Structures are given as C-alpha cells and as structure tokens.
Structure 1
Amino acid sequence: MSRRAPRASIDPDVGKSWLRRALPLVKAHRALLITSLVLSFAGLIVQVQIPNLVRIGIDRAIVDRTAQLGTYVWWIVGFALLQGLINFAARLYLLRTAYELEYDLRNIVYTHLVRMPFGFYDRVQTGELMSRSGSDIRAVQMYLSFGPSILVQCLIAVVAFGLMLSINVPLAIVAMATMPVIGILGVTMRKAIFPVSWMIQARLAQLATVVDENIQGVRIVKAFAAEGRQLRTLAESADRIRWAYRQDARIRSRWNPLLDNLPRLGLALVLLVGGYMVIDGSTTVGTIVAFNSYVLMLQPPFRMLGMMIMMGQRASASARRIYEILDTPSEVVDGPDPLVVPLRGDLAFENVSFAYPNGTPALDGLNLRVRPGETVAVVGGTGSGKSTLGRLAARFYDVTEGRVTIDGHDVRSLSLASLREQVGIVPDEPFLFSLSLHDNIAYGKPHATRDEVITAAVAAGADEFIRDLPDGYDTVVGERGYTLSGGQRQRVAIARALLVNPPVLVLDDATSAIDVTVEQRIHASLRDQMRGRTTLIVAHRLSTIGLADRVVLMEAGRVIADGTHASLLESEPRYAQVLAATISSDSSDSSGGGPPTSSTRAADAGVAAK
C-alpha cells in the first residue's frame, strides 16, 4: 500500500496562535468534519423535540384528556430511534476525521524529523521526540476533532433556550440564569490550567526519555548491576509527574463541581418559580416537566465544556512542543537547484574546518584528496577527526569553513538523495532493523533480488553464518540486531553498503569487531569490490591498512603525513607510535595479556611493513 502524503501542513507563521497555525490541516478534512457536525446538530434538533412532545402529551393526554397517550409514546420512540441513527453516523464521521488528522500530524512531524541533520539529534533526547510524536500529537488531534463536536453539543443550550422562549419566556430566563456564571468560571479555569498542562507534557517527555534510555541501554544497566539506581531515577521522574497531576487534580476539583452543579441550580429555580406559576395558573405541569428535561439536557454539554477547556489547554501546550520541532530549521538542506549527477569519486577536502554542534572541534584547515578508484587509509589517535571525514563527505554535517567536493562539485550543490546514494558509509557501530537479514541487507536497494543480496553477503563474509541460522536470509534479527554478534552485525552492514554499489565507500573501522581470520577473508573479497571504487578506510588495524594504496596520518584535525605504509613507517615517528598503540591494543584484546614489549612492537611493525 502506497503512502498518502498529508493533505496540508502546519502554517509556518510563528506569529499566529497555535490553533490558527493548525487550521490548514483542519480545512483539508473539512468535508468529513462538517458532515459530522451537521449530523450532530441534526441529532440535537431531534433530541430537543422529545421534551416538547412530553409536555404536549402530559398536558393533552393526561391533564386535559383530549388526546391518546399512546400516540405521543410512539412519537417519542420514533424520535429516539432517529436520534440514535443520526448520532451513529455523526460519530462515525467524527472518528474518521480524528484518525485522518492524526495520520497527517504524524506524517508531518516524521517527515520533518527525517529531514533534520545529525546535529539536531546530537542535542535532542530520543524520549523527548517520542513524547512529542506520540502523546502530544494525540492531545492536539483530540482537540482539533472533538473540540468542534463539543461546541456543537453545547449549541443544544441555544436550541433548547429558543424552544423554552417559545413556550414560556419568564421561565426560560430563570432556567438560563446560571449560564453566564458558567462562562466566567470556564475562562478562569482555562487560565489556571494552562501552565500545569505544559508542565505535565514536559515531564511526561522526561519520563519517556528515562524509559527509552533504560530500554536501549539495558545491557549496560545489567552489566553494572544498576537496576536499583535506575529504578530510583525512574521513581524521581514519576514523582515529578505525580506532583504535576496533583496540581491538575486540585484545579479540576476546584472548578469542575461548580461547572457541573450550576445547571442543577437552574433546575431548582425552575421547580421553584415554575411551581408558583402552575399554582397561579400561568403555566402547566407539562411545561415544568419539559423545562426540567431541558435543564437536565444542558448538564452534559456544560460538563463537556469544562472537559474541552482542559483539552484545549493540554492541546495548546502540546502544539507548542510540536511546533518547537517543526519550527527548527534544518541546517543541511538541498540548494535552490541541486545537481543530480553520476559521480566518479574524485573526493577532495579543501582547507576544511569543522566543529560539532556542541562546540567540539574536529577538523582544522584539513586538506586531502582521494582520486577516483583510490583506496586511502586514515590513521590517527582518538579524536584526531578520522570519522568526521566520512560524515562530511556524505553531508551529514556541513563544514564550518572550506569545502568538500566530489568530481569538483561542492557537496552542498548536490542533491542530498543523489549524494547519499553514491557515498556509502559503513559505521563502526552498525544499526540493524527488526527485519529479516535479507531486508536489512537490501535496505538501500529494496527491490534487490535474493541473488543480489547473497552476492553482497558473500563479499562481506556474511553468507556463511547467515546460512547456518534456522531461517537463513529470512531470519528476523532482534531490535538493533542484538541477536547477532558485533562482528556479524558489521558484516551485514558491509553487505548492505556493497549491495548499493556506491562509487565512494567509507569504511569507518567497519571490521573492528570481526575475528582476524574472518577479516582476512573479507579483505580478500573487498580488494575485488574496491577495485575502481574510491574508498576511504578509517583504520585501526594493520590488516585493514594493508588494503590501502595510500595512508594518511591525522592529528588534531589535520593531515600531518601522507604516503605508503612502508614509507611512513620509515620516515614518520608519529606514525610508528600510532601503530605501536594499535598493535598493543590488538595484542591485549586477542591474548588477554599485558602490553607487548618494545621489541614485540618493532617486530610487529616490521612484519606489517613487509
């Protein structure tokens, strides 16, 4: 089933109220909404006729005995059935409107989220986004769809008042005497409840963040036996929400009884004044019964009016939280006329400086060129800026100064979709979806055949372990792929990138979790795959460096040495130091022993040079 685009969007004018900004969305579904509201109003017209029939039946059939009581009974039954049918249709269209609005709201928010660059996600918590994409959207949807319906229900007061005026003007005024007071109380309640509604939504988002981090990081929590500490953190967040809900409850308990019971005061006044009028002969018993029914009929709409006020304040708070996301512009967007061109892979970094959104510097006047079809290994210590190169090449971030070009085109002039289709990245911590292995590998090429998927898996060294699984390529991996080992996830990620066959490939320490023996087999395959392809390898292992035609040494965001592995080993002491640290780490990981001696490092480096 194809995805339907939202029929409208939120008005971008931040100077307007939240409701006026949401009106284009409501107008896009006005046919359904208006149909629902017209049917609701028709149901009200039918509903208010029933007390009038009761009045006429009592006065004519019981008091005056000039008509048959059964006639009015059947009329009342008929009107009740008609009202039920109308209300059924009205509810059906109203719910359809609500679901359509929710569908569009979710798509608008999600579409904006997927356009946001990495920098946005670096500073925003996942739980916050989940809350705003869930409960906040539902709060806005409820008000936009059910708010107009409640207002129509409140129109029963107008219709009923009109009928009461046509029956008995003084008694009608008495019955409606409490309504202005209800209006004043409603406005006062709205002002009191807004800040609490905002607080509730914000604290729900904080709780969602705590839950999300505990679920995502459950392995770390258990590894450090920190369950008790995390439960206390959750309890503290829940306590803050409980306090906010208590404030909300205090406001409701203060105002709702007044809003609910003032119409009952009107009922008492009708009985009192109407009773005297019956005694005086200026009205009938049937009129008092009808007026009592009308006053009772007014209670649910005014109770719903109080609910709508609270819904409105919660929707207002939620809408502002949603608009905070939608009003955040993406720093990484297509230019006015983005280029869509096939790339050969002539990758260049020209005097590039870059700092992450939190201010962490990564590159400082870096210059580097990777020619088409060349394989370059990037080596350096932690924080030297190695991984940043691939992120800038795929334009996950924009440079602070300088420019990144491919085939002479500044990446900012290229279409984002076209660029990322042609720059494949395999991160050191690959993410797998809760899909089958076939679908995970074919993620960048959804219509790939099974043979194409298998070919990519073979090249990445993943085919063997996949075939050993119970369902083979149809095996569904757990969330984030945690049912697989780290090395297996990396191999699937490599296969995913190779299947797309991009002209530029970035391997960001993509084999760090793979066994050395398996890695050697993968490298043999990758040599064929990298032939004619521009490849940038962020390397920590000597075996990975061996894949490269050229090695670049980075330090503090700059290229400080460039050459072959052998030439750098002979001429650049800092390169030898980085390799020694790498060998030390690899030796410790593989043997479980202490760091190698200086003679061991020299011997390993000598073997690597050969």
Structure 2
Amino acid sequence: MSAPPQPPRYPAPKSTIDPDQSRSWLRRALPIVLAHRRVLLTSLGLSLVGLLVQVQIPNVMRLGIDHALIARTDRLAGYVWWLAGLAVVSGFVNYLARRFLLRTAYEIEYDLRNIMYAHLIRMPYGFYDRVQTGELMSRSSSDIRAVQMYLAFGPSILVQCLIAVFAFALMLSIEPLLAVVAMATMPVIALLGVWMRRAIFPVSWLIQSRLAQVATVVDENINGVRIVKAFAGEQRQVTLLASAADRVRWAYRRDAYIRSRWSPTLENLPRLGLALVLLCGGWMVIEGSATVGAIVAFNSYVLMLQPPFRMLGMMIMMGQRAAASAQRIYEVLDTRSEIAEPADPVRTPILGEVEFAGVEFAYPDGTVALRGLDLRVSAGTTVAVVGRTGSGKSTLGRLLARYYDTTGGSVRVDGRDVREYALDSLREQVGIVPDEPFLFSVSIRDNIAFGRPDAELADVVAAARAAGADGFVRALPEGYDTVIGERGYTLSGGQRQRVAIARALLVNPPVLVLDDATSAVDVHVEQRIHAALRDLLRNRTTIIVAHRLSTIALADTVVLIEDGRVAAQGTHDELMAAEPRYRDVLATMQSADADEQVPA
C-alpha cells in the first residue's frame, strides 16, 4: 500500500484578491486582511488599551500638581507611583500590540506573494512573450511591500489617531472652552490632508513604474552579462541604467517637493494649537477660571496630538503609493490565461498517437508559424521534422504540450483534442527537451529529478547514463551533488543539453519531443547518446526537430516542413530520391554541420 500524500509544508493563503474589478483597490484587498482579522484585531485592541492608559497620564499629572503641589491636600508620592505604573502598563501593552501587528504584516505579505506567484506560474508562454521579467519582479517585490505596509499599518495608524478623540473627551471634561481652542486647527489639517492625497497619487504611480524600468534594465544586464562583456558594452549599459535611475530620481524629487510643501504644515499646525492653549489658558489662570495643572495637562494633550497627525500625513502618502502599487499588481492578477483548463478535464494515460489537423498558429507578436499543417504520428514511432529556420518546426512541440493554443485547426492525442486534457496530466505525459535548456541553481541530481523529485539515485544515474551525462557528472568535484551556477552556466552547452535530456527521460513520458536537443553536443558524443536513445525511444512516440544529418538516423519517418505546412513525408531514402526541396535543406544542414567541425 502506498504511503498517504504528505500535506504541503507551506499552507496556501486563506483568502485571495476579490476578482470584482469594479470595486476600489482597498475593497478588493479586504478579503486578505479579514483572513487575519483575529491577530489584527488583537493588535488593534491592545493599541486601544495602550492609548486609554496613555491619555490618563496627563490627567494624573494635573491632579498631582493641583492637589499635591499647589493645594497640598494629597501626598505627591501617590501620584508618582500612579505615573510609574501607567508608564509600565502602557509600555508592555504597546510591546504586545506591536508584536501582533508585525505578525499580521508578514502574514499579509506572505499571502500577497503567494497569490502573485501562483498566478504567474499559471500564465502561458504568450504572457511572458509580452511582459518584461524586470517589470514582473518589481510588481512582485516593491509593489507588494507597499500594499502590505498600508494594509497592516494603516488600521494601526487610524487607531493611534483615536488618541485625539480620547484626549479631546478628557479636555472637555476638564475645561470645555480650552478644549475647543486646542482643537481649532484640526479642520484645517483635515482639508490639507485631502489636498496632499490628490497631489501625491500620480507621483506615486510614476515612482513605482520607473522603479520597474530600473529593475528591468538590471535583470536584463545580469542575465545577459556574457553578451555585454563579449561586445564590451559595459559603459553603454551603465549609461542606460543611469538614464533609468535619473528618471526615478526625478520622480522621487517631485515626491519630496510635495512632501516638503505639505508635511511641515500638517505637523506644525498642532503646535499652533499649543500656542493658543498657552495664550487662552494663561489668561484663564490669571482670571481664576482654570488651574495650573489643567494648563500642564492641556499642553501634554496638545503634544500628544502631534504624532498622530504626523502619522496621518505618512498614512496619506503610504495610501497613495499603495493605491498605485495595487493597481499595478491587479493589472497582472486580472490578466486571464489564454490557456484555460477544461470544464471536465480528462486524466487518462496516453498511448501516444499524435495528430495535427489543419493547424494554424500565429505568435502573440503576429508572426505566423503554421498555415494549415496536417501531420499524423502513429503511437510508438519516431518522426524527424526538418525544415529551414522559421518554418514552424519547434512550434509543433509547443502546441502539443499546450504552451500555446492553435488559432485554427486542432492538435489531437489518442483522438482527443489536447484542450480536453487536464494541463498537468498532459504535460506530465508529453516531455519536451528544448534546444536551449534551463537548469536551476541546485545540484545536478535535483535538476535531473525535477519532474520526479522522489526518484532514487539509481534512476537518476540511469537517465544520465542514457543521455550521455554520467561520465562528465562523475568527474565533477561532488558528482551528482555538485551545485551548478545560475542557469547552469558552469556547464558547457552540450553538458546542459545532456542534463536536460536526462531530466526528460527520467519522467519517462509516452510522448517525447526533442527540439534540436543535441545541437551543442559534438558529433562523437552525439553518436553515443543516439546509441543509448535507440532502445529508449522504442515503443515511445518521439518527434525530433532535427538540424543535423546524424539526428535523422534515429527516425522511422522524416517530415519536411516548409512555409508552415508539411511539404513532404517519407523515409530518408525516399525523400532523397524524390524530393529536391529535402535535398536542398539537407545540403544546407550538412554545410552548417561541416562548418561546426572545422577548427578555428
């Protein structure tokens, strides 16, 4: 009996973004906040308790001054102990509130990153043909952080601003007229906050957009560093990055200008209230209608009002940046995949009969690859596909695995349209080895076992041996446990291709597409790989996109594609005898192959 499946180590987010695009960005993000409402409400409740304790301190000071220092009706020590106790309670409660708040913030960030990543990995090839990697990295990092900051800390700042309400209530209970004087500047502050919000939003959007442009330049230069160095283009690329960074600097300067224009006013208006309290309160003390303790308490309350309004200005700026970032995130999340999962997906083992029936296809940029192509590959046979560059050979495998959907006609496996199969089931059974394989920055064993993470080492070694990779892998410092560099660039092109072939063979798919998978392997090594593949390809449907004459020898049938259609089909000998276009293509391939063998 097989062991029960293990639960995932990292749980999925409890909620997701509201898909209703007619709602505000905050309403759409609300389900994620509500998923963590217990921890967040605990934090806000503790903050509220801390505020209630904090606003009592000036009142205790007022009573101590009036009763213990001026009237001398009470002992001063009692009020000192009260102040010390309130300070300890306030500090402890605020510590707990901060701890729960940070926990909420990180959980919201976790959810947002997982939602974004899960959406990105579901997007088809066509999406990545249109969108730059750096742009996606920016939206998945800095934009998510901006939204997370506002969703987590925004409610806390609003609760902190309640201190103004509590302080005003206590001031009213002490001296109503003086309380009105102290709060006289508040309506002006509220109006300035609205104006500041309107001014900051477009600049916030511009900052996030230009940060994404910088990320794109950096990403392309890191990934293409070998090309940059090969053409001595370092200085040009530094200039390009400096130009992008200069545009970000301009946006940040504009943001700083708006902040410097509005923030000082927002922060200092409460100080004007302090001056009014001293003026009016002093007059009232002289007249005998107020006490010295009341003036001291009111000064403390007015000083308490300054941090909330400073935070209110910060919250306005955070909100505008979060709104801009959220819209950029939603642009990605609202993009629907053109490759839709069928309503009733088929999950059956594939035998391997493949048919392209009147297939037409154009890439998202408008490039037409196939024009009514008809091709049938019987189960268990090996077909070599040849043709000139751009004839549409590689497109066959991409349509077969549903990386793209046809724009006309259909692709069928075992008589079913590939659009009827569950995507994961289809792709598990249709293996593709591209001509430019991608390897991860993990061990060679993990790269080969990517499709079967639970594979035994013996199975990994067997697949590597069949792909001609076992010899050079064992020669590495740590053998199969050797961690390769990013994208596998510590290996040669031929070595990367052999690891990619081993990765596909380990999964053992019933349908295998080798898209010029040995183009970077020298002829002698390729012959050894072919010798091992002959047994492995038996009873397996294999489509080989061939750019070398030696590769065609593996095939039972050869298909010539020209201008997006099947121009001829037959054995190699039949096509050589009857099809001049096939001879021309082979002559071109042979010439290119000979050029590769001539030493520089």
Does TM-score exceed 0.5, indicating one fold? yes
Structure 1: how far apart are the matches of 2:99 and 2:145?
18
1:78 aligns with 2:85: yes
Q: 2:570 aligns with which of 563, 571, 583?
A: 563
- How far 1:592 moved relative to its partner? 4.1
1:145 aligns with 2:168: no
- How far 1:449 moved relative to its partner? 0.5
Letter of the 1:341 counterpart: T
Find the residue that maps to 1:155 and give its secondary structure: helix
1:132 aligns with 2:139: yes
Structure 1: how far apart are the matches of 2:175 and 2:555?
97
| Structure 2 residue aligned with 1:31 | 38
Letter of the 1:32 counterpart: V
Find the residue that maps to 1:362 and give its secondary structure: strand
- How far 1:423 moved relative to its partner? 0.1
Q: 1:509 aligns with which of 496, 516, 527?
A: 516
1:199 aligns with 2:209: no
Structure 2: how far apart are the matches of 1:65 and 1:556?
104
Q: 2:595 aligns with which of 557, 565, 588?
A: 588
Structure 1: how far apart are the matches of 2:597 and 2:353?
37
Matches within 5 A, 1:444-459: 444-459=451-466
Q: 2:226 aligns with which of 219, 226, 229?
A: 219
Moved over 3 A (4+): none
1:337 aligns with 2:350: no
| Unaligned runs of at least 5 residues, structure 2 | 1-7
Letter of the 2:570 counterpart: G
TM-score, normalising length: structure 2: 0.98
| Structure 2 residue aligned with 1:603 | none
| Structure 2 residue aligned with 1:437 | 444
Matches within 5 A, 1:237-276: 237-276=244-283
| Unaligned runs of at least 5 residues, structure 1 | 594-610
1:478 aligns with 2:485: yes
Letter of the 2:524 counterpart: T
| Structure 1 residue aligned with 2:467 | 460
1:41 aligns with 2:44: no
CA offset digits 1:133-181 (Å, max 9, x no partner): 0000000000000000000000000000000000000000000000110
| Structure 1 residue aligned with 2:194 | 187
Find the residue that maps to 2:306 and give its secondary structure: helix
| Structure 1 residue aligned with 2:374 | 367
| Structure 2 residue aligned with 1:608 | none
CA offset digits 1:177-226 (Å, max 9, x no partner): 00110000000000000000000000000000000000000000000000
CA offset digits 1:361-380 (Å, max 9, x no partner): 00000000110000000000
- How far 1:67 moved relative to its partner? 1.1
Find the residue that maps to 1:451 and give its secondary structure: helix
Structure 2: how far apart are the matches of 1:401 and 1:522?
37
Q: 2:544 aligns with which of 537, 546, 556?
A: 537
Q: Which moved more, 1:62-71 or 1:222-231?
A: 62-71
- How far 1:570 moved relative to its partner? 1.2
Structure 1: how far apart are the matches of 2:478 and 2:599?
35
| Structure 2 residue aligned with 1:317 | 324
Find the residue that maps to 1:139 and give its secondary structure: helix
How many residues align structurally?
A: 593
Seq. identity, %: 71
- How far 1:52 moved relative to its partner? 0.5
Q: 1:357 aligns with which of 355, 358, 364?
A: 364
- How far 1:332 moved relative to its partner? 0.3
Q: 2:163 aligns with which of 156, 161, 166?
A: 156
Find the residue that maps to 1:378 and give its secondary structure: strand
Structure 2: how far apart are the matches of 1:147 and 1:195?
20
| Structure 2 residue aligned with 1:519 | 526
- How far 1:69 moved relative to its partner? 1.0
CA RMSD in angstroms comes to 0.6
Structure 2: how far apart are the matches of 1:556 and 1:313?
52
CA offset digits 1:38-67 (Å, max 9, x no partner): 000000000000000010001111111111
Letter of the 1:228 counterpart: Q
Structure 2: how far apart are the matches of 1:527 and 1:71?
94
Structure 2: how far apart are the matches of 1:324 and 1:207?
19
| Structure 1 residue aligned with 2:557 | 550
Matches within 5 A, 1:378-389: 378-389=385-396
- How far 1:289 moved relative to its partner? 0.5
Structure 1: how far apart are the matches of 2:295 and 2:536?
91
Matches within 5 A, 1:15-26: 15-26=22-33
1:294 aligns with 2:333: no
- How far 1:70 moved relative to its partner? 1.4
Q: Which moved more, 1:581-590 or 1:147-156?
A: 581-590
Find the residue that maps to 2:45 and give its secondary structure: helix
| Structure 1 residue aligned with 2:495 | 488
1:409 aligns with 2:416: yes
Letter of the 2:354 counterpart: L
Q: 2:59 aligns with which of 48, 52, 71?
A: 52
Structure 1: how far apart are the matches of 2:377 and 2:352?
8
CA offset digits 1:73-105 (Å, max 9, x no partner): 111011000001100100011001001100000
Letter of the 1:10 counterpart: I
Letter of the 1:280 counterpart: E
Find the residue that maps to 2:111 and give its secondary structure: helix
Q: 1:111 aligns with which of 110, 118, 128?
A: 118
Structure 1: how far apart are the matches of 2:358 and 2:542?
21
CA offset digits 1:558-604 (Å, max 9, x no partner): 000000111111111111111111111111111047xxxxxxxxxxx
Letter of the 2:152 counterpart: S
1:528 aligns with 2:535: yes
- How far 1:68 moved relative to its partner? 1.2
